Structure 1
Amino acid sequence: MYWLELVEENIIYITIGLACMLIILFIINIILISKQRKLTKRYKKFMQGSNGESLEEIIREKFTDIDILKSDSKKLNQEIEKINENLTITFQKIGVVKYDAFKEMGGKLSFVIALLDKNNDGIILNSVHSSREGCYTYLKEIIKGESFLELSKEEKSALNQAINYKTIME
């Protein structure tokens, strides 16, 4: 009965400890009630005007919309890939040089245009203007940035401009 004597001697401390625990439990209970009310308000606001069936229908519609968006995104990606493939073979690099073909006789009415694709394949178009005889146009093929035919200095200049041309895709 030693423990009974120990309890009787320390009854005040035990009572104070139990009172403190009761106060702590009371505070925790108030906090939980407050949080539960907030959660109930949020739930009521979420469910306002809806029943379980209409909420389920809304969720189904959202999933259907997501499936449609995925399908459209896949189609758009395929179209973008086709566009990118086509861009590699379209003229996207340009070089232009105007010059006087007959040295101060006709003005700078002659010109060279270099048109290249992404791989530096394309053409050089040289238009030589002669005031008496008209205009002569020459076309030279460019493969990988080089011509099999000899190029004039104006044609070389236009070709270099086109090769060094920065495209939007770079």
Structure 2
Amino acid sequence: MNSNIFNAIGLGTLDPGILFLVLILLVIVLLVLVIIQGNRFKKLEKKYNKFMQGKEADSLEDEIIGLFHDNRMIRSENEKNRKDIIDINRRMARTFQKVGLHKYDAFNQSGGKLSFALCLLDESDNGVLLNSVHSTDGINYSYSKDIKAGIADVELSGEEKKALDMALDSVNRR
């Protein structure tokens, strides 16, 4: 075979059979590459279709918008909960958290320990001390004393002091 093009590029003496075999081999290699790329594309397409399918065939955009909406709701609820917790903690500081109860027999009678001193304190050791004295004739006398920062406004009896100390120590016993 005599070709001007082959002569121009220096392949004028090339056997056409060799050229045909090389071209067939090149076509086979390209065909294998196309098949491999086709398989990769099908796998990628399956992943893409699976990814694009949302619940009940919703679009991915709708799913993302829904997630953003849910995220906003969660953030607002979280902020509300945080404010509520701060409010609860603020209120808790003023509630009675420490309790001291000392029961005693006021007149050493055999009737048992019917008298008591009860101390109720908040977080700052402010509160009240109640003393209930049961007498031998069945009459009950009750007294209250203010407590500020763990100190009574008037002098305390021994039983009242025990109740106050129990209340002050009640946090350590938890």
Q: TM-score, normalised by structure 1?
A: 0.71
Letter in structure 2 aligned against 1:158: A
Q: Paired residue for 2:154?
A: 149
Q: Where does residue 83 of structure 1 map in the other structure?
A: 88
1:98 aligns with 2:103: yes
Q: Secondary structure at the match of 2:100?
A: strand
Paired amino acid for 2:134? H
2:169 is the counterpart of 1:164: yes
Question: 1:140 and 2:149 equivalent?
Answer: no
Give the deviation of 1:105 after TM superposition. Answer: 3.9
Query: CA 1:96–1:38 in 2, change beyond 3 Å: closer, same or farther?
Result: farther
Aligned residue number for residue 126 of structure 1: 131
C-alpha contact 1:93 1:117 (8 A) present in aligned 2: yes
Select which of 107, 110, 113 maps to 1:108. 113
- The residue aligned with 2:52 is 47
Quote the residue 1:70 is aligned against.
75
Q: Which has the larger radius of gyration?
A: 2
**Are 1:106 and 1:130, in contact at CA under 8 Å, matched by a contact in 2?**
no
The percentage of aligned residue pairs carrying the same residue is 44
1:56 paired to 2:65:
no
CA distance in 2 between counterparts of 1:162 and 1:102 reads 24
| 8 Å contact kept, 2:126–2:147 | yes
CA displacement at 1:106 relative to structure 2: 3.1
- For structure 2, the 5+ residue unaligned runs are 1-31
Task: Give the unaligned 5+ runs of structure 1.
Answer: 1-25
Q: Please tell me the root mean square deviation across aligned C-alpha atoms, in Å.
A: 2.6
Give yes or no for contact 2:109–2:136 (8 Å, CA) kept in 1: no
CA shift for structure 1 position 43: 2.1
SS in 2 for 1:115: strand
Q: In the alignment, which residue of structure 2 is the partner of 1:4? A: none
Aligned residues between the structures: 139
Q: How many angstroms apart in 1 are the aligned matches of 2:57 and 2:110?
A: 87
